[in-house]
Structure 1
């Protein structure tokens, strides 16, 4: 059958389950945008800039499976690239489509706008290749093959890909297959799977203190439930890193809590670091997941690294089992014959219940406690990098809630557009967003898109006059950590004339409680501007800031004049 190249690309994206495309129009993508808006499978969501669009596609993909963004060549691509890099670091499958220079301009090396005026046509391609797992430059001859190849890579590796479609071929008709795209898992070798299962079972069987440590890839490949089932079957304690916090319930009989070096939950460091057979699922030993390397995992000879599609036992020279899938391996291991004694969980860290005078000024700890208390089953909580994530990642979550943050890439401003994407990717769920004023000023204009699309969202805007997480590191009272004070609650009127949002300012505990009480009754965006003191921060934030300062600036460095005020 014949179909225009742009229409075929849109069809393939829809077959991948994508029903929203984020982005910004530009002269090299307008012909494709016409095709997007003339079909019914995918809805166009126009964003205020390309970076916000990339963040929104990230949030959407975390909820929906795969996401898509459309930009124009070069200027749009590079604007989005920071968000695409975050997708790469965090295992988020996003398809970045770029309306590229027309083929005749590429062949003739024509010096056009949106280029460096040097006749070069490959610099943007080289730039995006560093942050995507697959790229395609479409032509009429390769379009079918290349579109399917790149989309399959995105699906299998859960990382972003890039498709350049020249502006002069989007409406060109070519022969395309009638069959839907085949999105299959990578090949799995049954013999390797069986061998890996037998070897790991034997290692667990002879170990005195086996343990499991779960990191981000296990969450992204939907392996959590099978891991927990295996752990419960064989009485193996389970800990998780900060990258998974909020997405594993601590009330599971085998879950002992957060491992973050010496910063984790009560008793967890001893269980993990004394293990003589540590099963690490997607383990990546970064500063974020180890409390700035404050712990000491068992020697590699006592570790089994289980990645999404391979297993390594012991040293780099140890046994390696390729072509094995994490989920299938855990299902097989659950059925294996392993003799293990029962395990008794250590007592959990006791949380203090704070009491506060309703007339008193709001302090951070009271805010986190109230956000925890307002969560319901099925909610999505999105926390900005910095103060919000540092505190909300350790709260108690109801069942079937989803916690979203950009822990590893850590680009401030991410959370607001990502919350938009989460809401559009899971429209039947309530989204709660927590973001500081410093981060908000980077991407605030996306409030407009949220209200334009009538998204229901409760947003806590922490107004503490600047970058609190940076104050915890250095320059606690320096002006470079200050931001100009905005009327944040008033932005709901400035950025939308159709009553798509409501804003309130709260300064006392009583005002905060009253706002939370009515949060779920308000349609559209409900922005709660929370007035806080500049250096109001938790002990954990102070500790993290001190560790960051020592790591970033070495043994000899300027001091930080931090005085915490609640």
Structure 2
């Protein structure tokens, strides 16, 4: 291809490069091959082939998240990920990952290489099906329309540039995935070159919006006056819209304490003096739940009210303010089309000169609740140096908390962490949500969609997205989740990405499913009442290092059953010069099948008298 020749493949690859995308993830195929060749020849975007389409989607999702967190939106920088697969079998395998990005507002570009226009005409005329083709011509397109904000079928090279630009603009504007299905014979087809750069188009701020904002703020101030002692609940949209500075300005101006949702964990450093932990409804640690509910009123900023961050509790009552999803609820009143960033700034200004410096743990303690006497005392209690004889979920994460706060940084609590924590769903998430993350955007989890195995594929995207400065993914994943997608470790070995993956092995058991369906299994030890469908085939997880590693591309496998063994492993990981840290690490953590995070004790108390 000559330097001045533009094709649809070069056009799309160039648009990806202009967005700051450096890696395209996915699984190749004959329909996709021509695009990858042209992309390699004409741009700096590099192909990262993954063993599974779902794993490629997870990697692209995490890459988009960390790039969004590390870019400067004021400079017009964006954080977007991209994944490419081949029609039918590849696209349907990818669908789950794109569904998760759609639910959690992650901007992704999904590229599906389809059969040629000639093959489509053959199918239409005589019913001839080529590889991976469905008799329903729009089957792939129709499915992806359910989980994207724009889905385009590219069959005409003359229209392709405008379709590509339209979809990417929607991706940037809505911060959600888009889908491009490109027929194979378009890759080499000539088209016009790109014109200008693509950007998000925000909603205009009208006079009507200004009036609605003023009404919402007035109502919010009245509610705060009526109930007093507010506590802030910082949520996911602060992360997605990069509003961490607005949050900091608000809490510093008002001196309000704040909790976060799991999805907004580490929106700012959790060493902030006003931070009071992660509130996750009834799945919170009991101390956090008691203090959060003991506040006079609650102010949700960008919080998504899901069953996973509320545990079934009522999210909006007379003593709640919730600003999210382009509206504000104040008690029973609702104010539509109020932009979150503007609301935070306007409420801060309306409260100017007033402060609410309550320590909610101290207030709850004084009210007779069984909580520590101060927030600082509680947060310090989450990190431990003395442990029980038996390795449990809670003692494991207390040990890891101490490691992250005091040892991973060489003993300097102000030094940047070498890790980004990546958590999977279920018990792993309930344990890791209480780790104290000292750096902004130092924690990543798929907390709404909760596709098990996400963390293992996501580690690839985190590692490639955070190379300057380099952050190692520190992954916590349950054994059932890990079995879904263990092969994604091979990508990390191949590209020398060096994650540390802790597989929480509770003797081959879907612990969270047992807890949700029949929690009484956990009440009386030992019990043989486990539901048969929650039992997994046991693996020797640490031995997978021998499967994925080679003499050239190494991987290390370890097994820990005690705190002494865990401490020895963490000492090696904390030493940058240790040979162990030159390759990925897979550590099997042996736990009892009857153990569970204490955050779930309420399930047993409610259903097992």
Give TM class, smaller chain. Answer: 0.7 to 0.9
Distance verdict in 2 for CA 1:240–1:76, change over 3 Å: same
* Rounded Cα–Cα distance in structure 2 between residues aligned with 1:158 and 1:222: 12
Write the distance in 2 (CA, Å) between the matches of 1:441 and 1:341: 50
- Write out per-residue CA displacement over residues 255-300 of structure 1, whole angstroms, 9 at most, x where no aligned residue: 4443333454646666568656x5432333221111222x46323x
Aligned to 1:409: 449
Tell me what 2:368 maps to: none
CA distance in structure 1 between the aligned counterparts of 2:300 and 2:179, rounded to whole angstroms = 31
In the other structure, the counterpart of 2:317 is 298
- 8 Å CA contact 2:150, 2:170 repeated in 1: yes
Q: Does 1:233 align with 2:248?
A: no
Q: Distance in 2 between matches of 1:43 and 1:446?
A: 18
5+ residue gaps, structure 1, are 551-558, 561-566
Q: Structure 1 CA distance, aligned partners of 2:604 and 2:454?
A: 21
Question: Following superposition of structure 1 onto structure 2, how do residues 82-231 of structure 1 map, counting pairs within 5 Å?
Answer: 82-108=96-122, 109=124, 110-115=127-132, 118=135, 120-138=136-154, 139-181=156-198, 183-189=199-205, 191-192=207-208, 194-206=210-222, 207-208=224-225, 209=228, 210-231=230-251
Q: Deviations over 1:372-425 (max 9, x none)?
A: 122243421011111111111012222335111111111111110111111111
Report what 2:510 is aligned to.
467
In structure 2, stretches of 5+ residues that fail to align are 68-78, 362-374, 410-415, 522-528
Counterpart-to-counterpart distance in 1, 2:221 and 2:329: 18
Matches for 1:462-501 after TM superposition, within 5 Å? 462-464=504-506, 465-473=508-516, 474=518, 477-497=530-550, 498-501=552-555
- Work out the CA distance in 1 between the residues paired with 2:335 and 2:56: 43
* 2:435 matches 1:418: no
The CA deviation string for residues 13-60 of structure 1, in whole angstroms up to 9 with x for no partner, is 111111100000112111112112223421100000101111111111
Say whether the 8 Å CA contact 2:270–2:438 is kept in structure 1.
no
How far residue 175 of structure 1 moved from its aligned partner, in angstroms, is: 1.4
CA distance in 2, matches of 1:423, 1:519: 17
- Conserved? CA contact 1:75–1:114, under 8 Å: no
Instruction: Single out whichever of 194-203 and 379-388 deviates more from structure 2.
Output: 194-203
CA–CA separation in structure 2 for the residues paired with 1:537 and 1:164: 44
Q: Distance in 1 between matches of 2:288 and 2:399?
A: 27
In 2: Cα distance, 1:16 partner to 1:545 partner = 49
| Contact 2:26–2:56 under 8 Å retained in 1 | yes
Which stretch of the first structure deviates more once superposed, 136-145 or 242-251? 242-251
CA distance in 2, matches of 1:392, 1:331: 31
What is the match of residue 19 of structure 2?
A: 16
Cα displacement (A) at 1:368: 0.8
| Residue of structure 2 equivalent to 1:537 | 596
Partner residue of 1:55?
58
**1:458 & 1:81 partners in 2: Cα distance?**
27
Contact 2:216/2:335 (8 A) holds in 1? no
Structure 2 counterpart of 1:261, from 281, 284, 306: 281
Gap change, CA 1:247 and 1:187, over 3 Å in 2: closer
How large is the Cα RMSD of the aligned pairs? 2.8
8 Å contact 1:256–1:268 — kept in the other structure? Answer: no
Distance 1:104 1:441 in 2: 41
CA deviation after TM superposition for structure 1 residue 10, in Å: 0.7
Choose which of 368, 374, 386 in structure 2 pairs with 1:355. 386
Structure 2 vs 1, CA of residues 297 and 43 (structure 1 numbering), >3 Å: closer, same or farther? same
CA distance in 1, matches of 2:134, 2:394: 54
Match of 1:514 among 568, 585, 589: 568
Find 1:75's aligned residue among 67, 89, 93: 89
Q: What SS does the corresponding residue of 2:197 show, helix, strand or coil?
A: coil
SS of the residue 1:3 aligns to? coil
Q: Per the alignment, in what secondary structure is the counterpart of residue 502 of structure 2?
A: strand
* Distance of 2:35 and 2:128 partners within structure 1: 23
Length-normalised TM-score, structure 1: 0.87
Q: Which residue of 1 aligns with 2:364?
A: none
Pairing 1:450–2:487 present: no
Displacement of 1:147 after TM fit? 0.8
Q: Whole-Å Cα distance in 1 between the matches of residues 252 and 5 of structure 2?
A: 54
SS at match of 1:174: coil
- The normalised TM-score by structure 2 is 0.81
Counterparts in 2 of 1:309 and 1:56: CA distance versus 1, 3 Å: same
Among 367, 371, 382, which residue is 2:396 paired with? 367
